[in-house]
Structure 1
């Protein structure tokens, strides 16, 4: 009597001969089937494999606890731990069928997707290219109760993309919170691009809760809302959203956020000392777009009903932008030209803005002409406006402006270059001052730029600091500009583009000055001395270890009350290792001598575990501040951070903040923070908050 093993071998041989005969008759490729145990059901014409059953077909692999293959219909029926793989796509189900001829799939309790988005369904029909789920669930990153999820009575999934869904509910895994009319989402883009929640207490806001979210409503478009509830102020709510589109012709992206509140709390006054109104709102919009290789469209719009609305309710955004700007610019660029249309608008009335309504500008970047001469051209036509502010009257003018310059580099040796320069600027104004209808100013400028370059190498190695040889570069520069009539016509020019407060050296040439309505006579030399210390780098060829630059201006014909020698400006940067960076800016009055300004910053870091930053900000007769920030990673779940801001002039700790970051699985990050404030300020002296943020998908 034959053994069991012999019977199995005979059945396997018979099935192999049967499949081979079928292949010869039908001229179609047959799958390769294997398993620990095998039987053949002659009644149903099915080969049955169990125990690590596996079906291999060109481009497809099917594994399960049991696989039954019907040679007549060329259908494989799998039960138990079904896994169907085609190239990079992978389906997991309890049981199902797969037709090797048509690629048709039918499954129960199937899961498909790629990190971080997955789709499950009670029943599924279709092919790898298009699957239709019933009673589907879309979840993100991990299968946990706190994971954001979408449910749908019917969902179509096509080529790694959810193309349509009906009967939608949105919430956490297994808990619907609200419904959506329709849903479409690509697995290679963010699903929830913006989700935050924060609860806590601040003295001037009271107990508060804030929630912000965006959800997809159309291809590349997400809409949502920002909602804030404040026990001492009321409810702030406003729509929010974002949009994104990429194709072969260009890119498009942008977002908007808004809020409105009928503020019932203590509103106090704005920056101009005026009472803050009860109805308060804001709107922020940003847009970035490219078309082809040459065209860009960028815009920002910021409307605040009063100067303090973001400071009171959106402190983080206020720290980034304290004077809102609104502009729109379209630009077409080539290798050496730029053509732009720029508009700057002023929807707010509590700070000064130089409006451009609009400005049309053409720039020819420095380009070779003839005989080694380099030419440049700037030309613009603008309608300018500046509203009355304080004691300054309202101003408006239409301005035509053009500058043309020539430069001829002369390099008698590799280490010395001398470049004489000459240029002319013509500017025409309408609505001139001094009882004139218009005014035209013509200016000339001559000068030179010169530079020396010297270097020396040193055979020095240090394994600890990863130094492989040293090279010291020294580059003295001397520039000079002479434009004695640059201040001409000040009595007639509407001073809209005028000087703003700055402690840094301004552009030397009239060609580069932005304050062209407020020019001064030029007879000035600028001397700078640059030093760079480098070492060899395997990845980039060389890297900077240190950089030190000194610069100062000397006016040969100074204005009354102005000394010939300006302050001496020094910049220092030390980057001896990836974990250490030090930067400093120093401004010295050489006539006293005394430090006028000093800003420093040092960063120490272990990129995986901790970072420490110490910075100082000193401006004589104005402020002296010291800032320390520290962050440490405790483990995979928790980080701690702290911030201290000290005011040395008033011997006061203006701000101290302590926080703990908590990563909840792969989906959420929570921050628990307590802050204390001191000194005269609009914000509360104490803040306690818990902020929850959805990690980006």
Structure 2
């Protein structure tokens, strides 16, 4: 490499004959200043002192900062900072490569001026006739006679050729007189066409077929309103249900946070509202005018900057309880009963103060209303500087809960049937002789049932004040035994307790109830470890091994009155297969607190190895069991044996098993959920899941196996499958088959799905075509994946 400093000494003899000592001194100082930033490498380099021009010929390489120019010939003009390059010119800047026959690069502005220039950035490739490429911090780039593609090959399989293009970096590209080509065949002509850079802008379409929707076409056009609001207009057609559409508004300030900054409206004039996706008639009549209106936002106060005081708003108004199921099944599986709340929050490192209002906006859902609930949650924090910590919660709530509309109708139907049965049995009882006793017994049973139905609580409400505070003192003895005692006390007061039946009759009324509580507990644990530096096996990802064994136990005692007989609870326990928390501060079913005496005994096993210069968890196993002195839910003496296993030996092999097995026959059940992902060969990978549940007191038995595979047949073709098999019913619940075709810069996929919906098979077919090289860019012919949240799933 030849830098400017050596050039001075090569030219020194000639310079001595042309200039005096003072002139030579000045020349050397000026050239040294340039030498600190520009380097020239070539077969022959000369310097014109009069013009201040360096000329280089033959395999020229000019470097300035992070920019490198390759060419056959070059001139560098010190005065202007221009580098004139010609002959096989290549200009490299980080993230950008430009090629052409002639180009001018200015080191002061970073601007490139050229004719017949090929350039690329962020997987865009452009061929430009006459263009000026400014520096990185530019607002607009203009070019004449250009074409654009994302296929980096001599013969791109698609391109857009335009008389003129205007590029607004990170925003959009405007084409004037544009023709779209597939290969060499022109397929579209656009006098004027704008393509946004953001994948959610511009036009997108997803066609397909399913038994639930018939033939469908989901269409979306994204555009900006101002600088901070992304709008998505939707117009969809489903042959089984008709035309639907709406608009979504999303705040760009909350990008990446799907729960804030969005408004969604969608309306459908449904042709078949009373037919389920499986084709069966519904028991309830649904109006054909169906809609959703959703508003989720966070407002920082005083704003607009983020602060510790903010207001969260989550409003979801639906026309009926089946709307998500019929039109947005992906959202239905994720959140079948959306909430409605407003929450004012003040955050502090020591705790959170919140004022929550939850209300019933959709009367077809059962909702616990809080109007309002004021809560203070204190995080664990030191007090008295003596190793003692305090944590706890305090709240005041005005609570109410109504039955859902369909629940009320179902119970009223049952009451009507029970009354008819009682009247019939009374008529039979008058005639009965030998069978009088059995008829009377049946009538008595039906009357008891009728009484229970008529006393069904349709509305329950009360006010509740609740406080619980706990002291924690972590300690360690003999540098190995960890002891964490806890002691806490709480008080709950209920007032204006009422419960009303379906006819509005007052079934229960209590002026005041109270429940003091006392909690005590202690955690014990210690660690044993041993290193095995000689254990190495690359096939299973082992580079040395350390085994850590941590036995632990947690004792929890709670004394609290059982109010279940006198309180129509709202915050109650829900059926689950998970273990209940033993810490009162994390127990959210406040109304269900009652005496317990539990010891949790467990063992934590961990195998650690070295990977990527750090410690890596190769294997984890947590096993524990609860032993009951007093069971708050049932009459158990011991819980199931819980095991939580994680194995991560290699990037292409992971496994997990969560299981619980009964240790006693009474109230015990079995659950095993296991999952494996494995890529045995570079062109084949699969995932296998098995989910087993048996003898649960509330949930049905299930034995489901899920298998998904992907096979890369060659560089251009791939094949994917997914199957769900339910052994309890001996049915293949779901089949999915997808063919993938690699089209260089594009990926095409054709997918088919068959679902067994309680004996009725549902069929679906979807085609997608997406840009592989630059998936952030949407094009006019984008056909999106059917599972995309942009369209609500399929």
Q: TM-score normalised by the shorter chain: which range applies?
A: 0.7 to 0.9
Tell me the equivalent position of 2:426.
none
Distance 1:308-1:556 versus aligned 2 partners, 3 A rule: closer
Matched, 1:279 2:289: yes
Taking only aligned residues, the RMSD between alpha carbons, in angstroms, comes to: 4.9
Contact 1:196/1:693 (8 A) holds in 2: no
Contact 1:153/1:168 (8 A) holds in 2: yes
Q: Partner of 2:390: helix, strand, or coil?
A: strand
Residue 224 (structure 1) shift: 2.3
1:523 equivalent among 561, 583, 596: 596
Residue 449 (structure 1) shift: 1.9
Tell me the equivalent position of 2:416.
none
Tell me the equivalent position of 1:4.
none
The whole-number CA distance in structure 2 between the counterparts of 1:208 and 1:482 is 58
Tell me the equivalent position of 1:507.
581
Contact 1:48/1:68 (8 A) holds in 2: yes
2:122 equivalent among 115, 127, 140: 115
The whole-number CA distance in structure 2 between the counterparts of 1:438 and 1:410 is 45
TM-score, length of structure 2 as denominator length:
0.69
Tell me the equivalent position of 2:635.
563
1:471-486 alignment to 2 at 5 Å?
Answer: 471-485=547-561
2:763 equivalent among 686, 690, 693: 686
Deviations 1:583-613 (A, max 9, x none): 1322426135964433333333459541221
Deviations 1:249-308 (A, max 9, x none): x99975555532212136326999422321222345555788558567766554443333
Q: Partner of 1:367: helix, strand, or coil?
A: strand
Matched, 1:230 2:244: no
Residue 111 (structure 1) shift: 5.4
The whole-number CA distance in structure 1 between the counterparts of 2:209 and 2:57 is 62
Q: Partner of 2:736: helix, strand, or coil?
A: strand
The whole-number CA distance in structure 1 between the counterparts of 2:548 and 2:53 is 81
Residue 445 (structure 1) shift: 0.9
Q: Partner of 2:287: helix, strand, or coil?
A: coil
Q: Partner of 1:374: helix, strand, or coil?
A: strand
The whole-number CA distance in structure 1 between the counterparts of 2:690 and 2:398 is 42
The whole-number CA distance in structure 2 between the counterparts of 1:181 and 1:311 is 36
Distance 1:339-1:639 versus aligned 2 partners, 3 A rule: farther
Contact 1:490/1:518 (8 A) holds in 2: no
The whole-number CA distance in structure 2 between the counterparts of 1:191 and 1:565 is 58
Residue 564 (structure 1) shift: 3.9
Tell me the equivalent position of 2:3.
none
Matched, 1:622 2:632: no
Tell me the equivalent position of 1:3.
none
Q: Partner of 2:574: helix, strand, or coil?
A: coil
Residue 495 (structure 1) shift: 2.6
TM-score, length of structure 1 as denominator length:
0.78
Matched, 1:612 2:687: yes
Contact 1:588/1:597 (8 A) holds in 2: no
Residue 532 (structure 1) shift: 0.8
Distance 1:355-1:415 versus aligned 2 partners, 3 A rule: farther
1:376-415 alignment to 2 at 5 Å?
Answer: 376-389=391-404, 390-391=407-408, 392-409=457-474, 411-415=476-480
Residue 91 (structure 1) shift: 4.7
Contact 1:152/1:165 (8 A) holds in 2: no
Deviations 1:206-254 (A, max 9, x none): 222223453455435432234432222212222235433389xx99975
Matched, 1:577 2:584: no
Deviations 1:144-177 (A, max 9, x none): 97779798967465xxx35787788999678567
Residue 573 (structure 1) shift: 0.6
Distance 1:319-1:607 versus aligned 2 partners, 3 A rule: farther
Residue 686 (structure 1) shift: 1.9
Deviations 1:49-71 (A, max 9, x none): 77766666777655556667889
1:262 equivalent among 258, 265, 269: 269
1:410-489 alignment to 2 at 5 Å?
Answer: 411-429=476-494, 431-433=496-498, 439=512, 441-453=514-526, 455=528, 457=530, 459=532, 461=535, 463=537, 464-465=539-540, 466=542, 468-485=544-561, 487-488=562-563
Distance 1:615-1:87 versus aligned 2 partners, 3 A rule: closer
Matched, 1:244 2:252: yes
Deviations 1:404-443 (A, max 9, x none): 1223345444444444433232334454227768536241
The whole-number CA distance in structure 2 between the counterparts of 1:532 and 1:245 is 44
Residue 575 (structure 1) shift: 0.8
The whole-number CA distance in structure 1 between the counterparts of 2:65 and 2:620 is 60
Residue 574 (structure 1) shift: 4.2
Residue 474 (structure 1) shift: 3.9
Residue 580 (structure 1) shift: 3.5
Tell me the equivalent position of 1:323.
337
Residue 614 (structure 1) shift: 2.6
Deviations 1:76-97 (A, max 9, x none): 6656655445676655456554
Q: Partner of 2:585: helix, strand, or coil?
A: coil
Tell me the equivalent position of 1:597.
671
1:547 equivalent among 605, 611, 621: 621
Paired residues, number: 666
Distance 1:154-1:660 versus aligned 2 partners, 3 A rule: closer
Contact 1:625/1:645 (8 A) holds in 2: no
Matched, 1:672 2:682: no
Distance 1:526-1:171 versus aligned 2 partners, 3 A rule: farther
Distance 1:605-1:60 versus aligned 2 partners, 3 A rule: closer
Residue 497 (structure 1) shift: 1.8
Q: Partner of 1:511: helix, strand, or coil?
A: helix
Point out the more displaced range, 205-214 or 50-59.
Answer: 50-59
The whole-number CA distance in structure 2 between the counterparts of 1:46 and 1:258 is 65
Tell me the equivalent position of 2:503.
none
The whole-number CA distance in structure 1 between the counterparts of 2:254 and 2:127 is 28
Point out the more displaced range, 653-662 or 62-71.
Answer: 62-71
Unaligned stretches of 5+ residues in structure 2: 1-9, 409-456, 500-507, 778-794
The whole-number CA distance in structure 2 between the counterparts of 1:236 and 1:557 is 53
